[in-house]
Amino acid sequence: METDAQALREALALATGTHAPDWHLVLKARYGMAAAFRAAREVQGPGSVLTQLFTCLTAVVPVLQAGLAPVYGDLSLRTLALDPSELALPGDLRCLVAQHTFGIIDDRDTRALADAAHAAGALVLEDCAHCVGRMALGPDALPIADVSVHSFGVEKLLPTHFGGAVWLNPESPLKDVIAETARLIDALPVVSGRRARALRLYQNEMRIANHVPGALSRSILDMAGSMGLMEHAISPAEQAGEDPHDEAAPDAWVIAQDLAAMRGLPEIKELRTRATAALRELLAPAAEQGLLKVPAVQCEGEAQPLLRFGVLARDTEAADRAIAAARAQGFYAQAWYRPWLFPGVTNPAAFCVPTDPSALPRTREAVDTIVVLPADLSEDACARLADTLLSA
């Protein structure tokens, strides 16, 4: 196991231009986030984490687990991430989360976010769940964040289902927090027993569930979960703001799966870069006519290898129409993150969701009008998808 673990750390270091000893492995990326948030709380005391509502709820559950309070900032529609020009930092800020939504990385905005957080004495956690092996870089080509969290989970860049990795910046100004984060992660027990067996069953269980009617599928998965035979990607407990499992480190099987997938990362990035370039060119006329908004970073400079290609429609009806048209042609279009804190929380108060969404107008617009397109298509498929959207 240790040989594969070291090889995985070295693969991550090679992909990011960092050093293998600064990488730490977890069973799920959210467990690495929880460790960083706990470390910030233990070193600096109770306080808040500035993050965004346009995200998956599993990126906020770790804040709650650490005993910190999530506070939500508004988005920039050019990045679908926190807008550095609209930041209102809480006085008790302990951490700022810089999320690279769909794999969109904007070095300039991330640097501005980090500068503001560091000036307030807060940690900068970079959420690279959608862009494993890529980070925001400063003018010196060095990573900007104090903590960078990468995911091998379900519906991420690689064809894996479990595992995560956390890079801890040895040059961070918050050295005590970094050291405590490393200690907490390295102390995690390796997953074992029934839960470890459930990880191995996940892919077959999902294949079965996907071939039966929706209501029956949910019943099968819920029953398997209650019996400890199913590891939910997002559990009912997490939707309520809790975590049904103890945090853990990956076992040898998970590490081997992730290592094998990492070896295919260059080809995956090449395919997605080509698709991103094709989609932005093909959808440019619609953007110029005001039919769609394309986040600017997807159209600036060199194309990025995105997990998904997101566009904003004129309104929710137009977004739903575009998604339905794409699906009718066999394309895996979605409405991530509608509702916000996707796929929806059952206890909004636990997540500190604001009661007045008008305070976050650009977040509301993104949630209401998002159209999320696949970014792993051939150029011919991109052309067919674009034609479908333009005629929807």
Per-residue pLDDT of 127-136, as tens digits, reads: 999 999 999 9
In order of start, what are the domains of the chain with their CATH numbers? 2-186 (3.40.640.10), 193-245 (no CATH), 265-390 (3.90.1150.10)
pLDDT for position 320: 97
**Going by DSSP bridges, is the β-strand pair 75-76/81-82 parallel, antiparallel, or unpaired?**
antiparallel
Q: What percent of the chain has pLDDT over 90?
A: 83
Contact 123/66 with Cβ under 8 angstroms?
A: no
Strand pairing partners for 25?
165
Place 362 in a pLDDT band, splitting at 50, 70 and 90: very high
Residue 338: CB atoms within 10 A of its CB come to: 21
Using CA atoms, how far residue 350 sits from 71, 157, 254, 383, in Å, is: 12, 30, 31, 44
Residue with tokens 């050295």: 175
Per-residue pLDDT of 163-208, as tens digits, reads: 999 999 999 999 999 999 999 999 999 999 999 998 988 664 555 5
- Report the alpha-carbon distance of residue 42 to residue 122 in Å, rounded: 13
pLDDT for position 107: 97
Strand pairing partners for 151?
164
Q: What does pLDDT average to over the chain? A: 92
- Report the alpha-carbon distance of residue 263 to residue 11 in Å, rounded: 8
pLDDT for position 220: 47
Q: Is the per-residue pLDDT at 358 higher than 90? A: no
Q: What are phi and psi of 132, to 5 degrees?
A: -50, 135
Q: Is the per-residue pLDDT at 83 higher than 70? A: yes
Q: What percent of the chain has pLDDT over 70?
A: 92
348-376 per-residue burial string, b: 16 or more CB within 10 A, e: under 16: eebbbbeeeeeebebbbbbbbbbbbbbbb
pLDDT for position 223: 52
Q: Is the per-residue pLDDT at 218 higher than 60? A: no
pLDDT for position 391: 86
Contact 370/336 with Cβ under 8 angstroms?
A: yes
pTM over 0.95: no
Place 222 in a pLDDT band, splitting at 50, 70 and 90: low
pLDDT for position 212: 54
- Report the alpha-carbon distance of residue 40 to residue 207 in Å, rounded: 40
Per-residue pLDDT of 18-57, as tens digits, reads: 999 999 999 999 999 999 999 999 999 999 999 999 999 9
